[in-house]
Amino acid sequence: MLNLVANNSMVTEHEEVPDRITVGPSGPKPRRTLSRRNIVVYGTLIVVALYYLLPLYVMFMTSLKGMPEIRVGNIFAPPVEITFEPWVKAWAQACTGLNCDGLSRGFWNSVRITVPSVIISIAIASVNGYALANWRFKGADLFFTILIVGAFIPYQVMIYPIVIVLREMGVYGTLTGLIIVHTIFGMPILTLLFRNYFAGLPEELFKAARVDGAGFWTIYLKIMLPMSLPIFVVAMILQVTGIWNDFLFGVVFTRPEYYPMTVQLNNIVNSVQGVKEYNVNMAATLLTGLVPLTIYFISGRLFVRGIAAGAVKG
Amino acid sequence: MTGQTRGSARPNQWLRNLNAKIASIPMILTAVVIFVGGTAWTVLYSFTNSKLLPRLSFVGLDQYERLWAAPRWLVSIENLAIYGFFSLIFSLVIGFVLAALMDQKIRFENTFRTIMLYPFALSFIVTGLVWQWLLNPQYGIQSIVRSLGWTNFNFDPLYNSDIVIYGILIAALWQGTGLVMCLMLAGLRGIDEDIWKAARVDGIPMWKTYVLIIIPMMRGVFITTLVIIASGIVKVYDLVVAQTSGGPGIASEVPAKYVYDYMFQAQNLGQGFAASTMMLVTVAIIIVPWAYLEFGGGRKRA
């Protein structure tokens, strides 16, 4: 809001300037530098924006071309003959090792990994954040600090002990195991997110509910939950994109038949056998990127909020 | 203990705190068993000669000596240093310049931000594969420039072991600068408008205001961004796997990949543990001074 106001006043200032061009040196100077500056500012931003868009454009164009056209043509040129065959092939026929049922398998694996991981991790972290914000007990801060500091430890340090724990539990290599891992590593950032959000809610609400005799779960379900839908959406965006894009955990903690989409994509594109079909590869790459991209473009500002919080996750 | 003593004073307190404690069990388990326990376990076993399975037969610093004598590890460290140095410099500079441009009260700010940030929504695998395609010498940027007349133009970073790490850097910067821009922009927005007015009244040129006044004021934002970028750099793995698989040869290997390969493919756990412990040390060198500054100053407490 403040910015908007400032913005308007700036615009009117600039519009007044032209009348005073001939009056004195103090008048015209800001205008000229400003218009020249505008060219530089917009010019740079447009060039930068084109640079950022280029890979997406090239991916899309390549995925719509036939292989003969790719061999003779230029990657920036739009397709002469549009074909959707690479998309079909990427989805249903592309091979990884002996399996030739395309990326669809990886897609459904990713769905089966992402949905429960997101729900479980958010459920646990939100209740936990609520406990930390409103029902502090002795020692809670210590564990919380360990959790936050632990978020900076490289995953590679903890991978093997987790393999052992999961093996002991009998879930190593299964989707359940991977879901547990995602829940664990989502916990620091989500707990921080929820704790800070709940701590920011007016304390009177909580006190009033307690005076009325509401307990831990009642307050959480009846008061906190309905009041904090935005933060749940932010957490969901954060988790869905994070888990969908994960590669390391997928490759470490699952068997090939459960590989998530990113792992399968990498195997399809970087497998050495056969002729490289760049159009199919790009179609597959776009398909994998489609889920987080859709979330990104739909959620807009909330995504920015999510990553500002999630940036710590690295 | 605490719950019980409090419980005797206020009967209901104990039960309620019990609920909070139950709710915190996953956090406590994660913090103690996985984060502390797992890290301690890995560090401990890095002093053993575990091969296929972890075994507690200590060999002192053997694994570390072998690690620092391994050409592949040295290449990994060198790559990480080059990649880290340039991605820190470039993402901070580019991120800040873009944020400063975005802060000029421009139109379509949201459109520009959406465009600059979308790569961050993509996975490293997708990023790596796209740039593998763009940098393909036969069809990609090199062939385009050659077809425009510069037939001697050479740009094949992914196939040239001397510069392969820069090829990865290009992809990483494409993916990550949008985030840095957003963080910097948030920092710029936090600067009091009066500062700008005062600088304008004093006739200080804009670039000078940025360099001498604004950047020093944004120290906190810079440090936080630095820590975020730096801890991401140490973890770089997926991008390399997707873009080059460590090749050509071992030219683009990185420590995280070394760890993975030794733990899960070469079945030399001891090496993997020693390498991952070195990663931990690297992160600690970055994090500890920052945590000291951040929490020592009591800034986060507010």
Cβ of A307 within 8 Å of Cβ of B21? The answer is no
pLDDT on residue A4: 36
Band of pLDDT at residue A183, cut at 50, 70 and 90: very high
The whole-angstrom distance between residue B129's C-alpha and the CA centroid of its chain comes to 19
pLDDT higher than 50, residue B5: no
Of residues B154 and A180, more confidence is placed in A180
Q: What is the mean pLDDT of residues B245-272?
A: 90
The CA angle B270-B271-B274, to the nearest 5 degrees, is 85
List helix spans (H) across B190-268: 193-201, 206-208, 215-217, 219-234, 238-243, 255-264
Average pLDDT, chain A: 83
A145-175 residues labelled b (16+ CB within 10 A) or e (exposed): ebbbbbbbbbbbbbbbbbbebbeeeebbbbb
The whole-angstrom distance between residue A80's C-alpha and the CA centroid of its chain comes to 34
What are residue A22's phi and psi, to 5 degrees? Answer: -85, -10
Separation CA B135–CA B156 (nearest Å)? 6
Beta bridge mates, A173: A254
Q: Is the peptide bond before B137 cis (omega within 30 degrees of 0)?
A: no
Q: Which residues contact A152 (CB under 8 A, 6 or more apart)?
A: A314, B231, B283, B287
pLDDT higher than 80, residue A27: no
Q: What percent of chain A has pLDDT over 90?
A: 41
Task: Name the B residues in 57-96 with CB < 8 Å from any A CB.
Answer: none
Separation CA A286–CA A281 (nearest Å)? 9
B160 inside 8 A of chain A by CB? no
Radius of gyration of chain B (CA): 25
Separation CA A45–CA A34 (nearest Å)? 16
Most confident of A157-171, B139-153, B194-208: A157-171
Could you say which of A51, A58, A131 has the minimum Cβ distance to residue B24? A131
Of residues A17 and B204, more confidence is placed in B204
Nearest CA to CA, how far is B96 from chain A (Å)?
13
Cβ of A244 within 8 Å of Cβ of B123? The answer is yes
Nearest CA in chain B to A299: B114
Which DSSP string corresponds to A116-128?
HHHHHHHHHHHHH
Q: What is the mean pLDDT of residues B165-171?
A: 93
Q: What is the mean pLDDT of residues A273-280?
A: 81
Q: What is the mean pLDDT of residues A58-79?
A: 87
Cβ of B178 within 8 Å of Cβ of A278? The answer is no
pLDDT higher than 80, residue A17: no
Average pLDDT, chain B: 86
Separation CA A229–CA A235 (nearest Å)? 10
Nearest CA in chain A to B100: A41
Q: What is the mean pLDDT of residues A23-38?
A: 58
Cβ of B130 within 8 Å of Cβ of A55? The answer is yes
pLDDT on residue A15: 43
Give the residue from B35, B244, B269 with the most A CB atoms within 10 Å of its CB, the best one to mutate.
Answer: B35
Cβ of A75 within 8 Å of Cβ of B144? The answer is yes
B21-32 residues labelled b (16+ CB within 10 A) or e (exposed): bebbebbbebbe
Q: How far lies A156's CA from each of A160, A194, B82, B182, B215, in Å?
A: 8, 27, 21, 28, 35
pLDDT higher than 80, residue A301: no
pLDDT on residue B241: 92
Which residue, chain included where needed, has tokens 């919380």? A144
Q: What percent of chain B has pLDDT over 90?
A: 43
B97-136 residues labelled b (16+ CB within 10 A) or e (exposed): bbbbbbbbeeeebeebbbbbbbbbbbbbbbbbbbbbbbbb
pLDDT on residue A18: 47
Nearest CA to CA, how far is B139 from chain A (Å)?
7
Of residues A19 and B77, more confidence is placed in B77
Which residue, chain included where needed, has tokens 């079945």? B267
User: What ipTM describes this predicted complex?
Assistant: 0.85
Burial of A11 (0-12, 13-18, 19+ CB in 10 A): exposed
Cβ of A161 within 8 Å of Cβ of B38? The answer is yes
Structure tokens at A27: 């008048």
At B203 the three-state DSSP class reads coil
Nearest CA in chain A to B221: A308
How many C-beta atoms lie closer than 10 Å to residue A63's C-beta? 24
| A308 vs B contacts (CB less than 8 Å) | 182-183, 186
Q: What is the mean pLDDT of residues B137-143?
A: 85
Cβ of B35 within 8 Å of Cβ of A153? The answer is yes
Separation CA B124–CA B272 (nearest Å)? 23
Band of pLDDT at residue B1, cut at 50, 70 and 90: very low
pLDDT higher than 70, residue B164: yes
| B280 vs A contacts (CB less than 8 Å) | 153-154, 157
B113 inside 8 A of chain A by CB? yes
pLDDT higher than 60, residue B285: yes
pLDDT on residue B104: 86
pLDDT on residue B299: 47
Separation CA B300–CA A199 (nearest Å)? 14
pLDDT on residue B56: 85
Q: How many CB pairs under 8 A join A and B?
A: 269
pLDDT on residue A220: 92
At B51 the three-state DSSP class reads coil
Q: How far lies B45's CA from each of A80, B40, B41, B259, B265, in Å?
A: 59, 9, 6, 14, 18
Most confident of A305-309, B74-78, B216-220: B74-78
pLDDT higher than 90, residue B80: yes
Q: Is B206:B76 a contact under the CB 8 Å cutoff?
A: no
What are residue B159's phi and psi, to 5 degrees? Answer: -115, 5
Q: Is A102:A109 a contact under the CB 8 Å cutoff?
A: no
pLDDT on residue A178: 95
Q: What is the pLDDT of residues B14-72, one digit of tens each?
A: 555 788 888 899 999 999 999 999 999 999 999 998 888 888 888 888 889 999 999 99
Q: Which residues contact B261 (CB under 8 A, 6 or more apart)?
A: B272
pLDDT on residue A79: 87
Separation CA B259–CA B269 (nearest Å)? 9
Give the residue from B122, B180, B234, B257 with the most A CB atoms within 10 Å of its CB, the best one to mutate.
Answer: B122
Which DSSP string corresponds to A65-111?
S-HHHHHHS-TTSPPSS---HHHHHHHHT--BTTB-S-THHHHHHHH
| B117 vs A contacts (CB less than 8 Å) | 296, 303-304, 307
Q: How many helices (H) and strands (E) does chain A have?
A: 16, 0
Structure tokens at B264: 């899960």
